[in-house]
Amino acid sequence: MRRAWRAFSESLAAKVLAGLFCLLFAAGLGLYAVVATAFPRSYDEALDMRADVRIAEAASELSRLSPEEGVGFLSSWCAETGSIATLSVDGRSWTFGGASEVTRETLVVPSAKEGDDPLLTAAAEVTFADGAVGMLVLTSPPADEAFLGEVFQALLPAVLLLVVAVSAMGAWLTSRLVARPIVEVSGISRRLAALDLTWRCPEGRRDEVGALGRNLNAMAENLARAMEDLERANARLVSEMEAVRVLEGERKAFFAAAGHELKTPLAIMRAQVEGMQLGIGDFADHDKHLPRVLGAIERMEALVHDILEASRLDAAGGGATLSREPVDVVAVVRAAVAEVEPIARERGVAISVQGEGAASGDDGEPLASPVAWAVPDLFAKAVGIVVGNAALHAPATSAATVRLSQGSLVVENPCEPLAPQEAAALCDPFVRVDASRAAATGGTGLGLYLAKTICSLHGFPFSVVAEGGVFRAEIRF
């Protein structure tokens, strides 16, 4: 039983069929009840009214005649109307209509036997034109088809009211079960065509309309997710295209600057070599100028090495290709400081290292040495660049500090005041803060650029700041 009810509740056709069947069945019963209840009463009332009207007409006509003239009138009148009339005047009586007309001394009123067509009898006192008083008894014949039609016409308002009520109920039922859900789905389809996915169909119904609503809701959710995925993919694509555009611009600028950086020392070397070859002036002293040429060649060699290193790092394209391993940051810093120690000593720059594992925690135990998850050679190169930058560019007889902590390496040294635009371009390729851009003091101009590129490959934040006469480079790992 429960399974049958569930199947019925899930079928729109079954509900519409059952609803209309019950409605029409109830309408038929209602119509039968109206006819069975109202028709007999209306029929009797109509017969009574017709009998009263006929006897009133006959009495009115007899009042203008004498009894003898009334007998003739009733004879013809009964023949026309099919009625049976009995007239009694001064002890005499006449019966008109039926099979024959009979004169009797006593009044006889016909009656209907059980099972015969009902006959209605009406009586009225008649005063003739000569003042005689008589009694008229009129018996009406059974109703004919025309009379039955009149009775049914009298019932027409009640029948029409019932038909209208049943039609309204049928229209409401059809609208509720079929039309309204279709209108709702039509409105939702218009919103769906406009890519408005904020709507939701009601899911309370268990029939085909409810299944359609649930399917539309699922489709809307899937479309919303697909559109969100497309929007995210489009945003990533736009971002990647912008990154490619920026990278292409940087690559062009890099090679343009590289060409400029190579062109200048090559021109100097050419002039020096040609001067020595031709023995022009001071260039005839080869022992004096050959070391200068050799120094220019060494600087070009360092520049080419850095350019190749930058190209190699740029070609790596991301940290996914890096073979990482734990790196002892303290050991890397010590090695970098030891490597630049001769240059720092020559320039009178004192480099100190703070937080290299000697500090203690709240419990008095020494802190663990900082560890970076990176490619050892590349990480060591980046650290060596920022430490060497302090040794090379800190003012003579000044001090530089390397501070270590868990996840951070900071190098600070005094510096000359820099304009904001110069400070912002410190990590760009071939940028030197030296006004003369002399290779002897400014390096190749690729150091901080290489350090930033290495950190980017590892996903390590790298930043440089020059404020208040202090240069600060930080690597977070």
Please spell the DSSP secondary structure of 39-91, one letter per residue.
HHHHHHHHHHHHHHHHHHHHHHHHTTS-HHHHHHHHHHHHHHH--EEEEEETT
Whole-angstrom Cα distance, residue 308 to residue 254? 12
Per-residue pLDDT at 184: 75
Nearest to 359 by CA among 401, 330, 333, 380: 330
Tell the residue number behind the tokens 């009733």, with chain if given. Answer: 74
In the chain, list all ranges with CATH 1.10.287.130: 202-319
Nearest to 476 by CA among 416, 386, 408: 408
Per-residue pLDDT at 372: 94
How big is the chain, counted in residues?
Answer: 477
Per-residue pLDDT at 476: 96
Per-residue pLDDT at 464: 93
Per-residue pLDDT at 146: 58
Tell me the pairing of strands 84-89 and 325-328: unpaired
Whole-angstrom Cα distance, residue 243 to residue 246? 5
The token pair that represents 115 in the structure block: 């099972």
Tell me the pairing of strands 92-96 and 102-104: antiparallel
Tell me the pairing of strands 350-354 and 399-405: parallel
pTM score over 0.75: no
Nearest to 48 by CA among 112, 97, 119, 149: 119
CATH no. of 202-319: 1.10.287.130
Per-residue pLDDT at 463: 94
Mean pLDDT in order along the chain per 10 residues (477 residues): 70 70 77 69 70 85 88 86 85 74 37 47 87 86 59 73 79 71 76 76 70 80 87 91 80 70 76 86 83 80 76 64 88 94 93 71 57 92 93 92 94 88 81 54 74 90 92 95
Burial tier of 85 (Cβ tally within 10 Å: 0-12, 13-18, 19+): buried
Tell the residue number behind the tokens 């101009």, with chain if given. Answer: 445
Per-residue pLDDT at 141: 64
Nearest to 56 by CA among 143, 107, 125, 148: 125
Please, what is the end-to-end C-alpha distance for the chain in angstroms? Answer: 71
- Integer CA distances (angstroms), 410 to 324, 348, 380, 465, in order: 22, 21, 14, 11
Domain 321-357+370-476, CATH 3.40.50.300 — does that match? Answer: no
Whole-angstrom Cα distance, residue 432 to residue 451? 15
What lies within 8 Å, CB to CB, of 341 at 6+ separation is 351
Per-residue pLDDT at 340: 92
The token pair that represents 244 in the structure block: 């490619």
**51 neighbors 82 (Cβ within 8 angstroms):** no
In the chain, list all ranges with CATH 3.30.565.10: 321-357+370-476
